[in-house]
């Protein structure tokens, strides 16, 4: 398989739409502004959307992508060392997440799956909060309203319904902010995603459906899930779509800006298929060598999003030793802070399990809490029997 066929997932066997031979779709060609070799290419339709990207901004995008990869490496190590129960790596998807995350405004609202740790970093989620749920210390990691990003949804595709509902609320408020929801290629086969798109199209809700097609839904290749390009599915709902090279941070940013602008102007939803690749396992509980060919990984490694941006920076004379050292120092500092936050995170109190279930008193839950409190007290450990009032 050619390494320039960024939109095709793996070997050519499988359905016609996602084979290596066909590139059909409402938009036809993949949107690309930077080749895998780091060459900036012209695209008259999308160039204007990134014309404000200065050399300094390019360097900051590079820093963000390096930092989130470092977060990923450190979290994976923490899981292997028994400090985290599980971790969903994003290795290879940095451009999709940073390019789209950096396109958002502060008043936009994000509804993500469990893999968008790069987007969470862009939104300002605390490093300890990113891993809190994976350590098992909390049911969720942060207050969504402080950064306008909901906590990750584990149920595949459910967050698309939340995003559409939120977008309809934006519409009712007469605001020009946008909801964006992230999901993977596997989620497009879920009923929730399809229902969300029906409602979004019917009400022309200001929502962006951002699909990271990383080629694998755990061990299921995308070519078996869909015989057409995923972006083509949106046409059936009356939703315009774009198919973008998800390893090209500039192309992703341009496509996301187009979709956001359309939504802000009352143009309704947009579906973006960011064609990328999950170079690591689905989670740290997965072994991808059992279901995918090593040659496929090698092909996609040649299109690594960070190497691509490095090549572009090098061509522009921006990839200096000083920049490399600054970025590496930042990434290492972030990793140290996250590790320290993880290993020193206090364990939750037993009755904390009753926190944040309801926003107002609930007699059914109060009864359970009372029983559990007295059960703990039966062991004669005053510290275990936290007062009912204090646990709320």
Q: Which residues are designated catalytic?
A: 278, 282, 291
Q: 100: which 2 tokens?
A: 């789209």
Q: 352: which 2 tokens?
A: 């904390």
Residue with tokens 């014309």: 51
Sign of CA dihedral 28, 31, 36, 42: positive
Up-side HSE of residue 254: CA atoms within 13 Å toward CB? Answer: 27
Please give the Cα distance from 223 to 21 (Å, whole number): 12
Residues whose CB falls within 8 Å of the CB of residue 265, separated by 6 or more in sequence, listed in order: none
Could you tell me whether strands 207-213 and 270-275 are parallel, antiparallel, or unpaired per DSSP bridges?
A: parallel
Other CB atoms within a 10 A radius of the CB of residue 97 amount to 31
Could you tell me whether strands 207-213 and 216-217 are parallel, antiparallel, or unpaired per DSSP bridges?
A: unpaired
Please give the Cα distance from 13 to 343 (Å, whole number): 46
Please give the Cα distance from 303 to 306 (Å, whole number): 9
């Amino acid at each position: 398989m050619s390494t320039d066929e960024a939109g095709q997932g793996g070997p050519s066997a499988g359905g016609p739409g996602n084979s290596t031979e066909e590139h059909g779709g409402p938009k036809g060609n993949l949107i690309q502004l930077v080749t895998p070799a780091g060459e900036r290419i012209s695209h008259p339709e999308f160039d204007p959307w990134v014309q404000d990207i200065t050399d300094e901004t390019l360097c900051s995008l590079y820093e963000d992508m390096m930092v989130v990869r470092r977060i990923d490496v450190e979290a994976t190590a923490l899981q292997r060392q028994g400090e985290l129960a599980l971790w969903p790596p994003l290795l290879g998807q940095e451009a999709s997440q940073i390019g789209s995350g950096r396109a958002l405004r502060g008043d936009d609202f994000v509804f993500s799956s469990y893999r968008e740790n790069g987007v969470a970093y862009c939104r300002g989620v605390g490093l300890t909060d990113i891993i809190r749920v994976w350590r098992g210390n909390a049911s969720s990691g942060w207050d969504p309203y402080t950064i306008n990003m909901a906590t990750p949804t584990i149920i595949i595709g459910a967050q698309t319904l939340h995003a559409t509902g939120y977008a309809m609320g934006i519409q009712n408020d007469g605001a020009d902010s946008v909801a964006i929801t992230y999901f993977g290629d596997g989620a497009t086969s879920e009923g929730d995603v399809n229902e969300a798109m029906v409602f979004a199209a019917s009400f022309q809700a200001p929502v962006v459906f951002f699909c990271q097609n990383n080629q694998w839904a755990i061990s299921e290749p995308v070519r078996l899930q869909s015989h057409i390009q995923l972006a083509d599915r949106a046409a059936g709902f009356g939703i315009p779509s774009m198919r973008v090279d998800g390893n090209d941070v500039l192309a992703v940013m341009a496509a996301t800006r187009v979709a956001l602008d359309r939504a802000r102007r009352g143009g309704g939803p947009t579906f973006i298929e960011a064609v990328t690749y999950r170079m690591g396992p689905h989670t740290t509980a997965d072994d991808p060598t059992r279901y995918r060919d090593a040659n496929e990984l090698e092909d996609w490694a040649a299109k690594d999003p960070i190497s691509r941006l490095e090549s572009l920076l090098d061509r522009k004379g921006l990839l200096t030793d000083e920049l490399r050292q600054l970025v590496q120092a930042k990434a290492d500092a972030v990793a140290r802070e996250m590790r320290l936050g993880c290993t020193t995170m206090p364990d939750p109190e037993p009755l904390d399990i009753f926190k944040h279930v309801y926003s107002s008193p609930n007699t059914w839950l109060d009864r359970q809490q009372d029983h559990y409190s007295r059960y703990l007290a039966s062991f004669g450990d005053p510290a275990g029997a936290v007062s009912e009032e204090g646990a709320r």
